[in-house]
Structure 1
Amino acid sequence: MERAGRRRKVRWKRVISLLFILMVAGVSAYTVYQYKQGVSLATDGKFKDDGKAASAFQGEEVKFGRINVLLLGSDSRGEEHARTDSIMIAHYDQETHQSKLISIMRDTYVNIPGHGEQKINAAYAYGGPELLRQTIKENFNIDINYYAVVDFEGFSKVADIIAPDGIEVDVPHEMTYGIGTTINAGKQSLHGDKLLGYVRFRHDKLSDFGRVQRQQEVIRKLKDEALSMGSIIKLPKILGVINPYVDTNMDTATLFSVGKDLLTNKSNDMKSMRIPVNGSFTNEKYDGVGAVLSINLNENRTALNEFLSS
């Protein structure tokens, strides 16, 4: 009887081991399949064979803890380094699961190392993500660990995967000039290209300030939509789509780790801020530079550091 019992135990251990192996193999195969599906949707991304800036970027890698990622949207028309259309810092704390988003107005007047006082978006044109990292460090005393330059066409595709039914917004007035489409006023759900137009439009009385508000609104809603999935099922496909549309120094393993952490740990509501903060700047015009936001640097540096440490 004892010998038969031992045989049954051995048999069950083998069955459990086999089931575990099959499960791991199945998950791995599904992950690869979804990733390849995502890649197939993004074969024309302009960063497909890029990565030149990654070797020059000197941000300190973070294995676990607080991560700051420089998010850049470029208005390039084919130039290697055009001025950036949007500048954001995405902050994520892997211990508290708190995510934060900082938008830096592109006309903010700062000192760019080696180039003197300029609009901050000129730093990318002069020296890519690394010079912009140095500029942020010198002016605001914030360390940037990683960067991601986004081709806006990829934003449309990713948004449609995360939110196939669109993102609900309340459009205050008709938007059409400079975005390649027409968005009517009123509450509605926007998909891909129209959602992209919504976050890029700036030809109204709020100008770039309104655009920054809409960018933060949409990113927050996309994050909430991703979390509402309650799983990481779509993550491999999303990473596959993103890959050719993003030039970044974050490897796929790090992207997957942070993405999985965000989805499975139900991070807190995303907090956001804008630089310059209210009451800390004046509108100025300088020869050779044009219209700028002249800021109280100490006030903004303190506000930014307090926001990240809270």
Structure 2
Amino acid sequence: MPFLKYFPNKNVNSYIQFLKKGIRLMEKDTKRRIPLWGKICIGIILIILLIGCGGYAAFNYYYNQMNIESDEMVVDRQEEVFDVDENPGNLKEMDPESIQLDSASKAEKDSSVINILVCGEEAINDNRGRTDSIMIVTINQKDDRLSITSIMRDTYVKIPGFSDNKINAAYHNGGMKTLVATVKENFGIEVDGYVLVNFDSFQKIIDAIGGIDITLSEEEVRYLNSTNYISNRANHNLTVGKNHMNGNQALGYARVRYVNKDGNVGDFARTLRHRTVMAAIYDKMMKKSTLELVAMIPKILPMLTTNIKKPDIVSYLTAGVQVRDKNPKLRTLNVPVEGCYKITRVGRMSVVLASPLDENVKQMHKFIYGSALKDKKQDSSSAHITVGQ
């Protein structure tokens, strides 16, 4: 390579140090913080300059630090497991055979809307666990909107190739490929890729970005400081109001379901906390300098599992930055939506039935695709899912 002589060690770290030095020089004399779009432009320019001397090698190096899964990868099937709730309360038990879950005949997909399935895995004994959080992160380039759709883990769904179960069992049964197929089958959403992180990695990511700020109620503080949701007892020091949480504290907060949050209880409260944490991460990242963002790359990428290809990562990041620059507001939605669900028991497990499911799908599609749906001829059967009893 023609410029390799400028890097005495001739390795990836030399290129990254050069990139960081260039960013530092460009930021040094800037009187105000460079906006996010400016940071990205700076990074792109420097990477272009480095292409001839290893910049592409650096990009390849850090991309390959992630756990990359191909769509053709064969995933081992695991034995199906069904929850057994010891304290179901007064919930009426229903026969699984009495519930008929239909499928979407067609999945929505639009080139102007990017959907990434983001999940948090609760792994046990190094075996494939269940997904404690299931979210669709959307970059809607047509409407200039960033959004997060949370799917409650207790939602009772059809799992392709397996028995009907809670949606969090889909990953356990057949990996991310099965969960992606489950989202498509039940909700008519065809995602463009996925990102998976386990609990340990989640904590490390929060620590890598310097923690996040979360406001807590008195009830939340009392619960978190007195239970093992925060595994490290040294972190049982939360107070009412705004708290700067480390990774261990943030994970404990995100997993709480038995404490009310903004009028929500149970899994509704937990998924709301998931979205609160994601919004806090988003706010924290937006406040980082270019140098800080670059420095975090080698810390965070090795903790992620994804099937997103290299060209698509660049494309999705660019689209996200462009949308965020026009409209930084982060919108959120919980599925099942308000007023369209039933809490019941199927067999011996408590579940949430998205009922009527066709109304959930309609609202979900409207939230995610927005005006992109108006450009297509609407076919009610393409998004019609019913729950029969």
Query: TM-score scaled by structure 1?
Result: 0.75
Alignment of 1:112-131 (within 5 A): 112-131=159-178
- Partners of 1:48 and 1:309 lie apart in 2 by 32
1:33 to 1:275, Cα distance in 2 relative to 1, 3 A = same
Number of aligned positions between the proteins: 276
| Distance in 1 separating the partners of 2:47 and 2:154 | 55
Give, in angstroms, the shift of residue 178 of structure 1. Answer: 2.9
Going from structure 1 to structure 2, the CA distance change for 1:261 and 1:190 (only over 3 Å counts) comes to same
| Residue of structure 1 equivalent to 2:328 | 268
Q: Does 1:217 align with 2:276?
A: yes
Cα contact 1:106–1:119 (8 A) shared by 2: yes
Alignment of 1:161-200 (within 5 A): 161-162=208-209, 164=210, 166-172=211-217, 173=220, 174=222, 175=224, 176-181=227-232, 182=236, 184-187=238-241, 188-200=243-255
What is the aligned counterpart of 1:239 among 277, 297, 316? 297
How far apart, in 2, do the equivalents of 1:195 and 1:107 lie?
A: 21
Q: Partners in 1 of 2:142 and 2:299 — Cα distance?
A: 28
By how many angstroms is 1:32 displaced? 8.2
Q: What amino acid does structure 2 have at the position aligned with 1:67?
A: I
* Residue from 66, 77, 81 that aligns with 2:128: 81
Verify the 8 A CA contact 2:193 2:308 in the aligned structure 1: yes
Residue 137 of structure 1 pairs with residue 137 of structure 2: no
Counterpart of 2:115 (choices 53, 68, 73) is 68
Shift of 1:64: 6.6
Show structure 2 runs of 5+ residues with no match. Answer: 1-44, 75-106, 371-389
Aligned counterpart for 1:306 among listed residues 366, 374, 381? 366
Q: Distance in 2 between matches of 1:22 and 1:220?
A: 29
Hey, what does 2:338 align to over in structure 1? 278
Closer/same/farther in 2, CA of residues 232 and 252 from structure 1, 3 Å limit: farther
Query: What SS class does the counterpart of residue 308 from structure 1 fall into?
Result: helix
Q: Distance in 2 between matches of 1:156 and 1:303?
A: 33
**In structure 2, what is the equivalent of residue 259 of structure 1?**
317
For 1:149, the equivalent position in structure 2 comes to 196
Aligned partner of 2:309: which letter? D
Given the superposition, is the C-alpha separation of residues 93 and 240 from structure 1 closer, same or farther in structure 2, using an over 3 Å criterion? farther
Q: CA deviation at 1:247?
A: 1.0
Task: Measure the CA separation in 1 of the matches of 2:310 and 2:68.
Answer: 13
Query: Quick one: distance in 2 between partners of 1:183 and 1:54?
Result: 44
Q: Which TM-score applies when normalising by structure 2?
A: 0.61
Partner of 2:257: 202
CA shift digits 1:227-277 (9 cap, x unpaired): 233x54333333322222111012355434433554465243111100111
Secondary structure of the 2:170 match is: helix
Instruction: Give the distance between the partners of 1:97 and 1:228, measured in 2 at CA.
Output: 20
Structure 1 residue runs without a partner (length 5+): 1-19, 40-46
Asked if structure 2 preserves the Cα contact closer than 8 Å seen for 1:199 and 1:218, the reply is: yes
* 1:66 to partner: Cα distance: 1.8
CA distance in structure 1 between the aligned counterparts of 2:70 and 2:55, rounded to whole angstroms: 32
Assess, with a 3 A threshold, how the Cα gap between structure 1 residues 191 and 22 changes in structure 2: closer, same or farther. closer
Q: Which moved more, 1:267-276 or 1:250-259?
A: 250-259
- Match of residue 72 from structure 2: 55
Give yes or no for contact 1:32–1:236 (8 Å, CA) kept in 2: no
Evaluate the alpha carbon distance shift between residue 53 and residue 287 of structure 1 in structure 2; reply closer, same or farther with a 3 A threshold.
farther
Give the whole-Å Cα distance in 1 for the aligned partners of 2:159 and 2:58.
44
* Alpha-carbon distance between aligned partners in 1 of 2:332 and 2:183, rounded to the nearest angstrom: 17
Match of 1:160 among 191, 207, 214: 207
Could you tell me whether the CA contact under 8 Å between 2:67 and 2:306 is conserved in 1? Answer: no
Q: Which amino acid aligns with 1:177?
A: N
